[in-house]
């Protein structure tokens, strides 16, 4: 039974886990920045269009659709900003953890 449990671990080692996280971390942080930029650009494009449609008569449905898009983009912008803050905060912590792990592995190598 012990061998079955050993084969079902989610990661082989802490080192491997930290390495995988560090590889993916930059992509996720960059993705959140790209999402912020795209949302801002779309809002810049859609708000003037919404204002033009608002002053026209009879375009209530189209104005409502554009307003919904602006609200959705604003929400996406907020969520992307929160993601970026999360990645920035935890990037420092993961870096410290990796440095500590390297120190510990370095000490183990010197002892053997």
pLDDT over 60 (residue 108): no
Indicate if the alpha-carbon torsion angle 16, 18, 19, 25 is positive or negative.
positive
Other beta carbons within 10 angstroms of residue 80's beta carbon come to 20
pLDDT in tens, 34-54: 999 999 998 898 888 777 766
Mean pLDDT of the chain: 78
Residues 70-104: tens digit of each pLDDT: 899 999 999 999 998 888 888 888 888 888 878 87
Give the CA distances from residue 101 to residues 28, 94, 96, in Å, rounded to whole numbers and listed in that order. 23, 10, 9
Alpha-carbon 77 to chain mean position: 12
Model confidence band, residue 2 (pLDDT cutoffs 50, 70, 90): very low
Domain spans of the chain, in order of start: 32-111
Q: Which residue has the higher pLDDT, 23 or 3?
A: 23
Is the pLDDT at 32 greater than 70? The verdict is: yes
pTM exceeds 0.75, yes or no: no
């Amino acid at each position: 039974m012990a061998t079955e449990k050993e084969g079902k671990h989610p990661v082989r080692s802490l080192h491997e886990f930290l390495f995988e996280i560090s590889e993916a971390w930059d992509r996720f942080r960059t993705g959140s920045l790209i999402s912020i930029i795209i949302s801002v650009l779309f809002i810049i494009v859609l708000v003037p269009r919404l204002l033009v449609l608002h002053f026209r008569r009879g375009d209530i449905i189209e104005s409502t659709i554009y307003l919904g898009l602006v609200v959705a983009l604003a929400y996406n912008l907020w969520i992307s900003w929160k993601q970026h803050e999360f990645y920035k905060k935890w990037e420092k912590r993961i870096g410290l953890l990796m440095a500590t792990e390297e120190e510990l592995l370095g000490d183990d190598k010197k002892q053997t």
